[in-house]
Structure 1
Amino acid sequence: MSQAPSSPELTASPVAARRRVVVVAVCWALVLLDGIDTFIYGSVLPDMIDGGHLGLTDALAGNIGSYTTFGMLVGTILSGTVTRWVGRRPTVFASVGLFTVATIGCGIAPSAAVFGLFRLLCGFGLGALLPIAIAYGMEFTTGARKALATGVIMTAHQAGGAIAPLIALGLVESAGWRWVFLVSAVPALVLLPVAFRMLPESPAILAGRGHGEAAASVAADHGLDVVRAPERTDRWESLKALFRGRQWPTTLLFWLTSFAGLMLVYGVGQWLPKIMGELGYETGDSLLFSTALNVGGIVGMLVAGRLADAVGARRIVVIWFALTSVFVYLLGVHLPVAALYVVVFFAGLLLFSGQTMVYATVGAHHDPADRDTALGWVAGMGRFGAVFGPWLGGTLLAAGHAELGFAAFALTGVVGAVTMALATVTIRVLRPASAGTGG
C-alpha cells in the first residue's frame, strides 16, 4: 500500500482534528462498555459462589470464565478477517449489540448452563470489538502518537473494570446479582444510536475493498493521508501477510507474548477479589482491590503509551512484563492493607498496559491494510492465555492453593518479557529492512 501525503492545511484543520477526536472518543466509549461487561462477572463471583446462586462453585465459576474467554478468542480471530470482507463499522456495531444482549441474558438466566451460554455469546462480542477499536484509533491518529492513541482507547477498558466492582457493591446486597448484569447493559442501549451516527468507515478498509472515492472522502474529512491501494481480490491476503517470507517467527513470538499478557490480565483480573478473600482480606477490600487494579491500569495506559511513542513499544513491553512479574508476586505476600493497595495499583499499572503495548507493537509493525487482521489474530491467539488464566485460578482455588495463584501468574510475566525480547531479535536480525516502528 502506498499513501500520498495529505496537505498540511488539511491535516491541521481544526474541523478535521475535531472529527478525529470524535472517532477516538466513540471508540473509547464503546470499549468502556466492553470493559464493564468483561469485568462484571468477576465482580459478582464472590456473592454468587458464597450464596450458592445457580449452583456455582469455584471450579464451575472458573469453567464459565473460560467459556467467556473462549468466546473472546473466536470473536477476536474472526473480527479481523470479517472486517476485511464486510467493513469495520458493521463489525463494531454487531459486536456491541451481541455482548449487550448476552449481558441481559445473564441477568435473567434460570440455570448455570444458560448463564454459561450467555457468557460464551458475550465473549464473542467482547473479543470482536477490541482489536477493531484499536485499529480505528491508530488509523485516525496523525503523527507519532499511535501508541498513545492505543493506550488512551484502552484506558476505557480499565475504566470499565474499575466501574464494574462499584456497580456490584451498589447493587448486590440491595437488589441481587441479576440486577448487576441488567444495569450494566443499559449504557449500551443509550450509546449505540449515537455511535452509529458518528463513527465513519475506515479509509484503509474502503480502499482495500475497491471503494477508492469513498476512502478519499473519509480521509479528507478527517485530515488523514489519502489512501491509494489496489483492490484486494484475495480475501485471505492479510492473513497470508503475517507469515510471508521470514515474517513467521516474529508473528509466532508476538502470539506467545499475547498469550502471556492475556493470561495475566484475565487470570488476575477475574480472580483477584476471590483470592484476596481466601487470603483473609475483608470482602469490601477484596472488591476495591479490583478497582485499584484497574485505576492503576488507566494510569499505566497513558504512561506506557507516551513512553512507547518515545522509545519504542517493544522495549516498553519487555520492561513492563518483567516488572509485572515482581508486583504480581507481591500480591500474594501478606502486607498491611494500605501497602497492598499500593502494590495492587502498580500491578494494574503494569500488567494491563504491557498487553496493550503488545497491540501497539503489532499495529505499528504491519501495513495499515493488514492491521485489523494482524491485531485480530495476535489478540485471538492471546485469548488462549485468557482461557487458561481463569481456569488455572479456579483449579488452584478448588484445590485449596490460593497462595500459589499469584506466583504462577508472576512466572507468566517473565515468559512475556522473554518472548517479546526474542521477537525483537527476529525483527532486527531476520527482517532488518521491515522492522516497522514498533520499537
Structure 2
Amino acid sequence: MSARTVRAEAPTGSAAPPAGHSRGFTLLIALSASVGGLLYGYDTGIIGSALLHLKGPMGIADDTFVQSAVTAITLLGAILGALLTGPVSDRMGRRPTTMLVAVLFIVFAVGCGVAPDLTVLLVMRFLLGLAVGGASQIVPVYIAELAPPAVRGAQTSLFQVMICVGTLLAYLSGHVLGPSHAWRWMLALAAVPALLFLIGMAFLPESPRWLLSRGREAQARAVLARVRSSADEVDTEMDDIRGTLHTEQGSWRELFQPAVRPAVVAGVGVALFSQITGISAIIYYAPSLLELSGFGESASTLGSVGVGVVLTVFTVLGIYLVERWGRRKLVVIGLPGAVVALAVMALMLPWSSGSPEVLGGGGQTVVITCLLAYFAFNGGSLSVVAWLYFAEIFPLRVRGKGTSLTALVLWITNFLVTLLLYFAADRLGVGLVFGVLALFNVLAWVFALRRMAETKGRTLEEIETSLLDGTFAAHGRPVRTR
C-alpha cells in the first residue's frame, strides 16, 4: 500500500504512549515470543530419549526404519506448517497466527502422550509438526519486525537460543524420567510451556509493519512508540515502512523475480546447509547414536545432556558475536571447527555395522569431546544465523512467502536427513555417516564464502533497497546504505 493510500485509523483504547515508553519492552516481546522456539526444541528433541523406551511397547524395537519414521514424521508435518504459516500470517496478522501455533502445540503434545498405539502416535507426531513448522516461520518474523535495527540480530536469535534450551530440557527430562520408562510424560510435558506461550502472546502487540500494510496507521504508530527510543525514530521508521508498501502482498511469482533472486538463493542455500550438515538430525538421535558408538543407556542420555548444555552455551555466544562479527563472518569462522570434529569422529568410529565395543574408554572420551565440539562450532555459527537471516533478507511484500519458502526447504531437508541418518548409521556404520556430514560442512563453508550477503546493522528497508538496486549480494560484500 502506498503512502498516499494509507488509511488513518484511530487506535483502540488509550492514547499511544510516548516514544521510549518502555526500554525493555522489545526484549520482553522477544523473550515471550521465543518460547515458541523452546517448544520447537523440546518437541523435536524429546523423541530421542522417548524412543529408547517406547520402541518396546510399540513393537518396533527391531525396526530402525520405523523408529526413524516416528522421529521424522514430525518434520513432515513441519513442512506443511512452514508452507502454510507465511500466507496465513500475511492475512490474519503475526500475533494471531503465533497464538494459533501455541494452541496446536498444546493439543498435539497431549495427543502424543496419550496415544494408545503406533498409528495414533504417528498421526499426533505429524500434527505436532504443524506447530513446529509454524513456529519456525512466524516467530522470527514477528520478533524481527518489532526489534530495533541495532539489536534485531540478537533479539531474533533468541528464538535459536530457546530451541537449544528446549532441547536441553528434553534431554534432562529424558535422563530424569528414563529410569521409570515414563515416555508418555516426556512427550506430554510440552503442553505446560505451550500454555504459558499462549497466555504471554495474548498481551503482546501486533507487528507495526503488518498493521501499516493493512492501512492501520495510528495503531502501527502506537506500537512503534512503545518499541523505539524517540519520536524521530518512529517517524523515520514509519516513512521507511511506507516506502516499501504496495497495494497488496506480492505473489509467489514475484518472489522469483530477478531483483529478489539473490535473496532467494542466499536464503534457500542457508536453509539447505543448516540441515544437511547434520545438526538437527544428530540432536534427534543423540542418545541412539551414542548407543551405537558403544555407550550404555544411562551414559547415552547423560552425554546427550552435555550436548544440550554445549549447544545452549555456544548458541548464546554466537548471538553475542552475530552483531559484532556479522552473519557471514560468523559462519565462515565457525564451520571449519565442525569439519575437523566430524572428521576425527569419522576416523575413530566404524565404517560398517560392526561392533561398537571395540572403542575403548579413551576412544569414547575422544568421541564425546568431538561431538560436543561439533555442536559448539556448527551450533554456534550456522545454526545461530539461519532463522535470523531468513527474517531479514526478503522484501516486505513477499516476506511471509519468502520465509515460508526457506522454512519449507529447511524442513524438507531436515525430514530427509532425519529419516535416513539413524537408519544409515545402523546399517552402514556411524563413522561413514560422520564422514559424509564432514563433507557437507565443507560445502556449506564454500557457499557462505561465496553467496551470503552481510545484513549486519542494516534496517529491513535498507536490505530491501539493496535488492532493488542490485547491491545485495556479491561474494559476501556488505549491502550499500542509501
**TM class, shorter-chain normalised?**
0.7 to 0.9
Q: Is the 8 A contact 2:267 2:393 kept in 1?
A: no
| 1:23 match: secondary structure | helix
Structure 2 segments unaligned to the other structure (5+ residues): 4-16, 349-358, 456-465
1:149 aligned to 155, 162, 173, which one?
155
Partner residue in 2 for 1:352: 379
Q: Which amino acid aligns with 2:472?
A: S
Q: Which amino acid aligns with 1:211?
A: R
CA-CA distance at 1:432 after TM superposition: 4.6
Partner residue in 1 for 2:369: 342
CA-CA distance at 1:277 after TM superposition: 0.3
Note the 1:37-56 alignment, pairs <5 A: 37-49=43-55, 51-55=56-60
Q: C-alpha offsets along residues 338-375 of structure 1, whole Å, 9 cap, x if unaligned?
A: 44443333222232341231333333333455444333
Distance 1:290 1:411 in 2: 24
Distance 1:139 1:308 in 2: 18
Distance 1:217 1:240 in 2: 34
Q: Which structure carries more helix by proportion?
A: 1
Q: In the alignment, is residue 422 of structure 1 matched against residue 453 of structure 2?
A: no
Largest Rg, 1 or 2: 2
Q: C-alpha offsets along residues 107-132 of structure 1, whole Å, 9 cap, x if unaligned?
A: 11122121111111111111111232
Partner residue in 1 for 2:221: 216
Q: Is the 8 A contact 1:87 1:201 kept in 2?
A: yes
2:423 aligned to 395, 400, 404, which one?
395
Q: In the alignment, is residue 242 of structure 1 matched against residue 255 of structure 2?
A: yes
Q: Which amino acid aligns with 1:121?
A: L
Q: Which amino acid aligns with 1:114?
A: V
Note the 1:302-317 alignment, pairs <5 A: 302-317=316-331
Distance 1:78 1:261 in 2: 21
CA-CA distance at 1:159 after TM superposition: 0.6
Of all paired residues, the percent bearing the same amino acid is: 22
Q: In the alignment, is residue 320 of structure 1 matched against residue 317 of structure 2?
A: no
Greater CA drift, 153-162 or 309-318? 309-318
Structure 1 segments unaligned to the other structure (5+ residues): 4-8
Greater CA drift, 253-262 or 226-235? 226-235
Q: In the alignment, is residue 277 of structure 1 matched against residue 288 of structure 2?
A: no
Partner residue in 2 for 1:408: 436
| 2:157 match: secondary structure | helix
Partner residue in 1 for 2:472: 434
Q: Is the 8 A contact 1:259 1:381 kept in 2?
A: yes
CA-CA distance at 1:385 after TM superposition: 1.3
CA-CA distance at 1:146 after TM superposition: 2.2
Q: Is the 8 A contact 2:75 2:411 kept in 1?
A: yes
Q: In the alignment, is residue 288 of structure 1 matched against residue 302 of structure 2?
A: yes
Q: Which amino acid aligns with 2:370?
A: V
Distance 1:185 1:401, change over 3 A: same
Distance 2:2 2:467 in 1: 25
TM-score (norm: length of structure 1): 0.87
CA-CA distance at 1:203 after TM superposition: 0.6
CA-CA distance at 1:425 after TM superposition: 7.8
TM-score (norm: length of structure 2): 0.80
Distance 2:253 2:441 in 1: 30
Note the 1:30-429 alignment, pairs <5 A: 30-49=36-55, 51-55=56-60, 57-174=63-180, 176-193=182-199, 195-223=200-228, 225=234, 226-227=237-238, 228-229=241-242, 232-237=246-251, 239-263=252-276, 264-332=278-346, 333=348, 335-353=362-380, 354-368=382-396, 370-424=398-452
Q: Which amino acid aligns with 2:303?
A: F
CA-CA distance at 1:429 after TM superposition: 12
| 2:471 match: secondary structure | helix
Q: C-alpha offsets along residues 166-218 of structure 1, whole Å, 9 cap, x if unaligned?
A: 1122223325211211223223234422x133221111111112222211111
